[in-house]
């Protein structure tokens, strides 16, 4: 699963790198956890590529209970077309989740799990594949939420964890965001191992309240 990630690239740089028509402001975050409200890239009805603030934890539009979002932080690529919570969003409401990297926890016999930071060797942002939804609360307010799609681990990830986020290559961003395109299944694969690297980091990151650039520094 993907339970934490990092985004420190500023709004102006995201606009340039992702070719956005508009973006919301945000500050750097080094320990983004479920329920956080963060930038998510979508295609508008007018065909523009925009970044808005959405809450992490998908609430399907048919749900009666918003607490379901706490259980729907991730969607497994292998069952995304079958699960009622995801299949409609997969067809019509795909999104990109900008991230500089993500964390995963490795099992260590006899010890607490060891967190690792995984990112692109280029230090450029990655685009995690996701789904988004609009849900209307009892007072009529619109609540927009999202989840991260996960797939089997790449060679880099396998020693750490069996799952990793789907990462959409730059030349496929337009296709992924277009609700009229359905030829996206091949994108739900592990990302190219050669362009990624990982290192162990402080166990401080295991506490959702921890924040700061030092969280992504490699253990000495």
pLDDT band at 193 (very low <50, low <70, confident <90, very high): confident
Task: Read off the pTM.
Answer: 0.96
Beta-sheet pairing, 126-136 with 94-99? antiparallel
Radius of gyration from C-alpha coordinates of the chain: 17
Judge whether 2 counts as a catalytic residue. Answer: yes
Total number of domains in the chain: 1
The rounded distance, in Å, linking the Cα atoms of 190 and 155 is: 9
Beta-sheet pairing, 101-106 with 22-23? unpaired
| pLDDT reported for residue 167 | 97
| pLDDT reported for residue 25 | 82
Which residue in the block uniquely carries the two structure tokens 């809450």?
55
pLDDT band at 83 (very low <50, low <70, confident <90, very high): very high
Which residue in the block uniquely carries the two structure tokens 């619109």?
142
> Counting every residue, how long is the chain?
220
Domain interval for residue 40 = 4-216
| pLDDT reported for residue 34 | 97
Mean pLDDT of all residues belonging to the chain: 95
Point out which residues pair with 55 in neighbouring strands.
37, 145
CATH of the domain at 25: 3.90.1680.10
Spot the catalytic one: 95, 104, 133, 147.
Answer: 104
């Amino acid at each position: 699963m993907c339970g934490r990630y990092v985004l420190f690239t500023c709004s102006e740089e995201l606009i340039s790198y992702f070719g956005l028509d508009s973006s919301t402001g945000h500050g750097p975050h080094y320990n983004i956890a479920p329920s956080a409200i963060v930038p998510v890239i979508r295609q508008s009805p007018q065909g523009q590529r925009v970044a808005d603030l959405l809450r992490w934890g998908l609430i399907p539009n048919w749900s009666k209970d918003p607490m379901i979002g706490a259980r729907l932080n991730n969607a497994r690529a292998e069952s995304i077309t079958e699960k009622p919570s995801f299949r409609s969003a997969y067809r019509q409401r795909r999104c990109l989740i900008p991230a500089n990297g993500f964390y995963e926890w490795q099992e260590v016999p006899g010890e607490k799990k060891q967190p690792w930071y995984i990112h692109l060797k280029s230090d450029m942002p990655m685009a995690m594949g996701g789904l988004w939804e609009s849900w209307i609360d009892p007072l009529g307010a619109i609540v927009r939420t999202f989840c991260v799609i996960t797939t089997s681990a790449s060679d880099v990830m396998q020693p750490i964890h069996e799952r990793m986020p789907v990462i959409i290559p730059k030349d496929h961003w337009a296709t992924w965001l277009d609700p009229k395109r359905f030829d996206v299944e091949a994108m739900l694969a592990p990302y190219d191992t050669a362009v990624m690297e990982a290192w162990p980091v402080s166990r401080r990151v295991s506490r959702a309240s921890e924040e700061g650039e030092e969280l992504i520094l490699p253990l000495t």
